């Protein structure tokens, strides 16, 4: 059973040396968040996730959740973990102090988020969905709603959900049927059925705040007719405390492949009282405040669970004895050598390591842009950061989650037959991570968003903004060091090819819109690998410079350089196949008749 240990050396390396979070905070409105504050936060996050969350992961998977008279009953250890979470004020780590939050930068909150996801991913939507709901309410709701609900939500006394999906509509929300009728008191009567609602009906808090998409009687057709409503499980009494139950009922729990301890509910709203959030018919824009946050959260889910799979695989490979090393016995006093000596096992472990650490670097960079976009006093800086986040969000969500499945699959493979057996804990990680490629917008939707909205619609301006960052780094580090100089040159080469392929797809779109759409997934994958090349080159430059210092952590830094070389030699070449398929003719994809896909 893999036991989680927070990768603090790598997180600190990125936060202090590669990205200089303290300097970043000083430039963008968080001067009080110095290195002396960052390190204790990271250490306490590690303590909480290792000691409070990690022990609940296996128990939760074995026990699961179940429904009793409309109440979701959670695994035994979950209440204790939630209580410790609330007492540690983790729910409000990046929330506004106006509502009781700590007001720390979002990038520091994401470092905690990764640790929590590694320790117990199924538990984590309790707070990630709540934090997304807090953002949406804070950005779009009336002052009255903010004052009534945000303090309790920030404190973790109440949680939040996101209620979008209906049985007949998933990604195409314009088809939803839930209706909201105005009431005389200014509230609305909301009626409809929602599915795939995570952590509704739970028994951990005394109120749950649902953000529900519905249509008003005068709503225009399609997505432009959607409004957003705040619908509490329990209506507030005159003192602002939860009182009588609202007409919201959990009817069933889905039986799922993974996330056994994270309830996925079907619930009914039968004239439930709700309050409009934002403007009528503008609910989708308000919900995307929550959705975009959720997509970055899901990126860190996949990263976190990949980290745990890698840890488990490395520990097993160091201990499991099988056969001898190809070059001769490594442990002659033992009956056999540990499997970590075998080249193919090392390939799997280094693939995991290079992808986990590369995704961590890109994820934390994206989180710094979130800091700037939400809080910088510089309007121009905010605009630039928001544009970068618009590009990076689908890349991170799509690429990290695809790699999460790959990493956890490799974790099973390292264990061999034991990886397929429940008692070792590796198969749970694969089952749990698989959903990340589907929810909060499938990766096909992320690919379409990246190529259509973020690239074609912007006339590649968002990509050029990111490539400006990449090329600026390459210019500044063209002669950085013995190892990193070569990696910087290879980063420039892949950035130039990324740009050229984008031009070819944009030109092809003028003749055949299927051309860029058929290449959308390959384009997302290519973008992820290219962005990670930049991250690995940055880490290599930093590591090579740090090795010159007298007190250098040599083993860690040399390992970082070796992993960088592995990424460029063994992982980045995947872009060659992607580039070829991306510009292939669309005929083989689009000409087959529908009935020819299967002919019994």
Distance CA 11, CA 22 (A): 14
DSSP, residue by residue, 183-213? -TTS-EEEEEEEEEEETTTBSSSS-EEEEEE
Radius of gyration (Cα) for the chain, nearest Å? 24
**Pairing verdict, β 208-214 and 159-163:** parallel
300 neighbors 114 (Cβ within 8 angstroms)? yes
Helix (H/G/I), strand (E/B), else coil: 352? helix
Q: Could you please report the per-residue DSSP string of 562-586?
A: HHHHHIIIIITTHHHHHHHHHTS-S
Task: Give the residue from 185, 192, 183 showing the smallest Cα distance to 210.
Answer: 192
What Å distances lie between residue 469 and 297, 329, 340, 411, 463, CA to CA?
24, 48, 38, 34, 10
The neighbour count for residue 244, using CB atoms within 10 Å, is 8
In angstroms, the CA 63 to CA 66 distance is 9
Unique residue bearing structure tokens 């499938």: 442
98 is catalytic: no
Which of 440, 522, 525, 544 is catalytic? The answer is: 440
Q: Residue 467: which of 443, 502, 516, 509 has the closest Cα?
A: 502
Catalytic residues: 440
């Amino acid at each position: 059973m893999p036991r989680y240990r927070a990768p603090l050396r790598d997180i600190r390396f990125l936060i202090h040396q590669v990205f200089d979070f303290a300097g970043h905070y000083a430039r963008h409105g968080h001067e009080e968040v110095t290195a002396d504050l960052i390190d204790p936060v990271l250490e306490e996050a590690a303590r909480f996730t290792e000691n409070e969350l990690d022990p609940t992961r296996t128990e939760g998977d074995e026990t699961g959740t179940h429904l009793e008279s409309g109440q979701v009953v959670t695994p035994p250890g979950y209440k204790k973990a939630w209580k410790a979470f609330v007492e540690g004020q983790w729910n409000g780590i990046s929330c506004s102090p106006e509502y009781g939050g700590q007001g720390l930068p979002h990038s520091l909150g994401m470092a905690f988020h990764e640790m929590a996801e590694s320790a117990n991913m199924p538990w984590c939507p309790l707070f990630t969905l709540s934090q997304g709901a807090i953002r949406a309410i804070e950005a779009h709701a009336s002052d009255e709603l903010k004052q009534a609900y945000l303090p309790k939500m920030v404190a973790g006394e109440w949680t939040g959900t996101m209620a979008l999906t209906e049985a007949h509509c998933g990604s195409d929300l314009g088809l939803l049927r839930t209706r909201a009728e105005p009431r005389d008191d200014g509230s609305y009567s909301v009626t409809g059925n929602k599915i795939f609602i995570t952590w509704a009906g739970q028994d951990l808090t005394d109120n749950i705040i649902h953000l529900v998409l519905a249509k008003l009687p005068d709503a225009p057709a399609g997505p432009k007719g959607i409004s957003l409503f705040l619908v509490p499980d329990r209506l507030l009494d005159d003192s602002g405390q939860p009182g009588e139950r609202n007409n919201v009922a959990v009817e069933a729990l889905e039986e799922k492949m993974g996330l056994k301890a994270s309830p996925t509910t079907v619930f009914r709203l039968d004239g439930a009282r709700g309050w409009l959030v934002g403007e009528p018919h503008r609910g989708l824009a308000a919900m995307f405040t929550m959705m975009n946050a959720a997509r970055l959260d899901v990126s860190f889910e996949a990263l976190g669970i990949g980290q745990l799979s890698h840890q488990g695989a490395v520990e097993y490979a160091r201990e499991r004895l099988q056969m001898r090393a190809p070059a001769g016995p490594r442990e002659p006093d033992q009956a056999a050598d540990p499997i970590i000596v075998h080249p193919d096992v090392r390939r799997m472990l280094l693939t995991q390591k290079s992808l986990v650490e590369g995704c961590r670097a890109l994820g934390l960079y994206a989180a710094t842009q979130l800091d700037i976009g939400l809080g910088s006093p510089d309007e121009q800086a905010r605009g630039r950061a928001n544009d970068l986040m618009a590009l990076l969000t689908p890349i991170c969500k799509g690429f990290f989650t695809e790699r999460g499945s790959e990493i956890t699959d490799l974790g099973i493979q390292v264990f061999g037959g034991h990886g397929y057996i429940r008692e070792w804990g590796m198969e749970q990680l694969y089952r749990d991570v698989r959903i990340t490629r589907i929810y909060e917008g499938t990766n096909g939707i992320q690919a379409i968003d990246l190529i259509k909205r973020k690239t074609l619609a912007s006339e590649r301006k968002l990509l050029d903004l990111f490539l400006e960052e990449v090329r600026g780094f390459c210019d500044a580090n063209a002669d950085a060091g013995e190892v990193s100089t070569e990696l910087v040159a290879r980063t420039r080469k892949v950035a130039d090819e990324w740009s050229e392929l984008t031009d070819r797809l944009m030109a092809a779109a003028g003749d055949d819109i299927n051309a860029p759409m058929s290449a959308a997934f390959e384009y997302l994958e290519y973008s992820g690998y290219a962005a990670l090349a930049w991250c690995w080159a940055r880490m290599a430059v930093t590591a090579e410079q740090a090795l010159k210092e007298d007190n250098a952590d040599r083993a860690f830094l040399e390992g970082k350089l070796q992993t960088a070389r592995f990424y460029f030699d063994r992982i980045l070449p995947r872009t060659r196949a992607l580039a070829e398929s991306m510009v292939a003719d669309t005929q083989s994809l689009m000409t087959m008749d529908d009935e020819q896909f299967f002919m019994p």
